[in-house]
Amino acid sequence: MGINSKPVVFAALSAVVILVGTVVTVFVPLFMPSTQPVSSFVKPYTAIELEGRDIYIREGCNNCHTQTVRPLRTEVLRYGEYSKGEEFAYDRPFLWGSRRTGPDLNRVGGKYPDSWHYKHMQSPQSMFELSNMPPYGWLASNKLDTSVSFRKTSIQRFGYTEDQVKQQIADYKTRVTAQDYDSKETRDLVTPANLRGDLTEMDAIIAYMQKLGRDVKSMGAGQ
Ligand code: HEC
């Protein structure tokens, strides 16, 4: 009699086969270093970039934007170098997304100056008439809350000390509020007067946009 006529044995054997398959394809790779490549070029987010990332999640930008360039000719031509596993080492949770109402953002860092982003965030339609991206100008009216920034970087295990986090925040504030900041004019235009000397949520999300894919670009991209 074949195994097909013994349902209990068949079920037990199937369970064993599926279990072995699961262990081999899921758990073994989990502990293999080759499946978790590290790159010395990929740096953790600064406290400000991480705050921007949280705002990106809060606002659901990932519902319209992906963050992964597939290794297909059409994608590489449009967005740039395809995404590598090691790039996402500090992305918890990852934001690869699954829907491209808007373009992929994995290589947007450095593509435009900050002033472009301030203008685009405030009114995407002022730049692309048919854009269906909602305007996010009000982010510039929200002062950036950095009270738990250090805790966030600690939980993510980025390895910064509290002083380093304070320094990162102070440095970014100095940068965007400086008289000679190259995007000062546009920033002043979108930021309410009382917040021009402070960091806003808009500043943080733009810092995050400018970080996306930059590590790969610094690798000398294109290899
Ligand atoms: C309803 C869908 C939708 C949402 C939500 C959305 N976007 Fe977009 N986004 C688009 C579309 C469509 C475009 C292309 C037209 C344009 O640039 O406005 C775009 C373009 C962009 C670009 C320019 C990309 C490039 O390479 O030119 C950036 C940057 C961007 N979005 C950031 C964001 C951020 C940050 C958020 C969240 C605060 C967000 N988007 C939310 C639809 C969306």
For the chain, domain boundaries: 3-35, 47-218
Nearest CA to ligand 1 atom 10: 102
Q: Which atom of ligand 1 is nearest to the CA of 107?
A: 26
How far is it, in rounded angstroms, from Cα 1 to Cα 115?
A: 76
Q: What percent of the chain has pLDDT over 70?
A: 98
Contact 122, 140 (CB under 8 A): yes
Choosing from 63, 64, 118, 200 the residue with most ligand 1 atoms within 8 A of its CB, the one to mutate for a pocket test is 64
How far is it, in rounded angstroms, from Cα 47 to Cα 215?
A: 17
Contact 68, 106 (CB under 8 A): yes
pLDDT value at residue 39: 83
Rg (CA), the chain: 22
Distances 206 to 48, 116, 144 between C-alpha atoms, Å: 10, 10, 12
Give 120 Cα–ligand 1 centroid separation in angstroms.
8
Q: Tell me the pLDDT tens digit for each residue of 85-142.
A: 889 989 999 999 999 999 999 999 999 999 999 999 999 999 999 999 999 999 999 9
Give 200 Cα–ligand 1 centroid separation in angstroms.
19
**Ligand 1 in contact with 132 (CB < 6 A)?**
yes
Give 134 Cα–ligand 1 centroid separation in angstroms.
8
Q: Which residue reads 């999300």 in tokens?
A: 205
pLDDT value at residue 219: 75
pLDDT value at residue 179: 95
Is domain 47-218 in CATH 1.20.1740.10, yes or no? no
Contact 36, 84 (CB under 8 A): no
**Amino acid at the residue 80:** G
Contacts of 180 (CB under 8 A, 6+ apart): none
To the nearest 10°, the Cα dihedral for 68, 69, 72, 77?
Answer: 170
**Ligand 1 in contact with 64 (CB < 6 A)?**
yes
- pTM, entire model: 0.88
Contact 199, 172 (CB under 8 A): yes
pLDDT value at residue 220: 63
Contacts of 125 (CB under 8 A, 6+ apart): 131, 135
pLDDT value at residue 133: 97
Q: Tokens representing 215?
A: 């590590």
Distances 172 to 38, 80, 177 between C-alpha atoms, Å: 27, 27, 8
pLDDT value at residue 222: 45
**Ligand 1 in contact with 205 (CB < 6 A)?**
yes
pLDDT value at residue 150: 97
**Ligand 1 in contact with 139 (CB < 6 A)?**
no
pLDDT value at residue 36: 77
**Ligand 1 in contact with 79 (CB < 6 A)?**
no
**Ligand 1 in contact with 195 (CB < 6 A)?**
no
**pLDDT tens per residue across all 223 residues of the chain:** 788 899 999 999 999 999 999 999 998 888 888 877 778 889 999 999 999 999 999 999 999 999 999 999 999 999 999 998 889 989 999 999 999 999 999 999 999 999 999 999 999 999 999 999 999 999 999 999 999 999 999 999 999 999 999 999 999 999 999 999 999 999 999 999 999 999 999 999 999 999 999 988 777 644 4
